[in-house]
Structure 1
Amino acid sequence: MNHPSAPSSSNAVRRVAFLGLGVMGYPMAGHLAKAGLDVTVYNRTAQKAEQWVTEYGGRAASTPREAVDGAELVLACVGNDDDLRSITLGDQGAFAGMARGTPFVDHTTTSANVARELADIAGTQGLHFIDAPVSGGQSGAQNGKLTIMCGGDAAAFDRAAATLHHYAAAVTLIGATGAGQLAKMVNQICVAGIVQGLSEAIHFGENAGLDMARVLEVIGKGAATSWQMENRGKTMIEGKFDYGFAVDWMRKDLGFCLDEAKRVGVSLPVTALVDQFYGDVQALGGNRYDTSSLIWRLRKLTRAA
């Protein structure tokens, strides 16, 4: 497969491709356009890409290969391992059209295995693959305040980092290929436990007759505080669960955590239990509720008792 040499310049990256315009990718790509970069986008549903172009300018491509033509940096944010393979591999995949030496930065939350697999393939073609999952949810993407955890080659990371800062508050190279995905797993393990604990606390307080809005205001100034309490406590009390990251996606992520835990020989008892609780939320019809809906499960169970 022939890959022309990447443009050589000491200047910052100007021409980029962004593949995947979902809840996260759409505003992330928008920040790049607003920063004045030359952005070409690709989305599996072409109408979404045309909508993005109408809003932000730039160009829409009909295939990943077309989108990356001439790009100095390629960015992606899709759904899962198979989605990522579909936009990178094959005759119309991104790898087939990227110039040698170009970094491919993947913001999808995937398994560490697929990151290593695609990094190996990219390397044989003279490309750089950086696994770079994000934390901060839909609001973080919209506000340009994401946290990005990266794994891959340090030189390729350095070339990409300034561009990532257009939609991130923190961009950190954690280690070699796969380290970004492993760090995201650590993040999701923490989130799962915190949301379950917060759900139980609110549920307990409500049934004990407390004004939980007032209680959270007080304890939020002490050791019990967390991002989840500050950003989801009020909406959990109000029973509103349409604030971003869906239960279906959280279960996907926790599946990666549990699979990787088996591989490295560690036990994640709390994570496994919370994963089951999210399964209950799905069974109750809350697949697209956000992750704070664990309290909805507790309320449902209490009413059924």
Structure 2
Amino acid sequence: MAGTAFLGLGVMGFPMAGHLAAAGHAVTVFNRSPGKADAWTARHGGRQAPTPREAAQGAEFVMACVGNDDDLRQVCLGPDGAFAGMARGAVFVDHTTVSAEVTRELAQAAGQAGLGYVDAPVSGGQAGAENGQLSVMCGGAQADYDRAAPVIDAYARICRRMGDVGAGQMTKMCNQIAIAGLVQALSESLAFAQKAGLDVSEVVEVISQGAAGSWQMVNRHATMDRGEFDHGFAVDWMRKDLSICLRTGDALGAALPVTALVDQFYKDVQAMGGGRWDTSALIARLTR
């Protein structure tokens, strides 16, 4: 069992840190809003710290799951950042979805401090985090990954090294690109079924058994049909992720026409007041 710290206790980080504690790891948590840290320690034990630096002191592994590039820099760098508190040889594992640029920047800073760095964004949403069934895509040195993977396993269904630092974030971009088009297509299919007067559940029961089937279809069709969009991964966060995908696509010369279009559809959902709705809310543009 390892001494660990977990920075960021949102809808993903709260249960992920809980799985670490349940697996027997000694966990110290940090959250910018102390109330969430209070709630976490009340449920799981462990301890909380007032700064990332103090949370990281004595930890062999420091995990983070925060909001964006600037949030990640804030918890890593500076006199109160995690890097200042970590001992040489400790490994920082970032579960945030951020740009490959900030990943490489922070990995370089970690290396200069004698620290390991693994970028390890996740997929599976709030349900995956709560059930310990996340897909974790990692980038970093093989030795750092080999040390971190058994700890990550506490909340992973699959954990795989995709290459050097940044490869995890690039793989997560592939994931978000694929999801964007899929959710839009499913939204159009369900809205079409509604307008055609078909029973959506019966339609999905039939077509999900063929080539059209997907996790999204099986797990979200009923709530999409009812207009319920409270499943955790918010539209605001999806737009943040898609902006990273689109910028990186431009830099690589990779065409992402469907992704760019769906990003604008999510902008429409935000204008409808749905910034905190989950990503299946794309159907709301077609049915409201």
TM-score with structure 1 length normalisation? 0.93
Can you give the 5+ residue segments of structure 1 that lack an aligned partner in the other structure? Answer: 1-12, 301-305
Match of 1:247 among 235, 256, 259: 235
Please name the residue that 1:30 is paired with. Answer: 18
Please name the residue that 1:92 is paired with. Answer: 80
Please name the residue that 1:53 is paired with. Answer: 41
Percentage identity across aligned positions? 62
User: Matched residue pairs, number?
Assistant: 288
Match of 1:230 among 182, 207, 218: 218
Q: Distance in 1 between matches of 2:85 and 2:70?
A: 19
Alignment of 1:151-300 (within 5 A): 151-300=139-288
Q: Distance in 2 between matches of 1:48 and 1:240?
A: 26
AA partner of residue 73 (structure 1): F
SS in 2 for 1:166: helix
Please name the residue that 1:7 is paired with. Answer: none
Alignment of 1:97-108 (within 5 A): 97-108=85-96
Q: Distance in 1 between matches of 2:58 and 2:247?
A: 38
Please name the residue that 1:9 is paired with. Answer: none
Following superposition, the deviation at residue 231 of structure 1 comes to 0.8
Match of 2:4 among 3, 16, 41: 16
Following superposition, the deviation at residue 223 of structure 1 comes to 0.8
Following superposition, the deviation at residue 37 of structure 1 comes to 1.0
Please name the residue that 2:134 is paired with. Answer: 146
Can you give the 5+ residue segments of structure 2 that lack an aligned partner in the other structure? Answer: none
SS in 2 for 1:31: helix
Q: Distance in 2 between matches of 1:245 and 1:47?
A: 21
AA partner of residue 157 (structure 2): A
Please name the residue that 1:74 is paired with. Answer: 62
Please name the residue that 2:113 is paired with. Answer: 125
Please name the residue that 1:6 is paired with. Answer: none
AA partner of residue 285 (structure 1): G
AA partner of residue 248 (structure 1): D
Q: Distance in 2 between matches of 1:171 and 1:47?
A: 31
TM-score with structure 2 length normalisation? 0.99
Following superposition, the deviation at residue 102 of structure 1 comes to 0.9
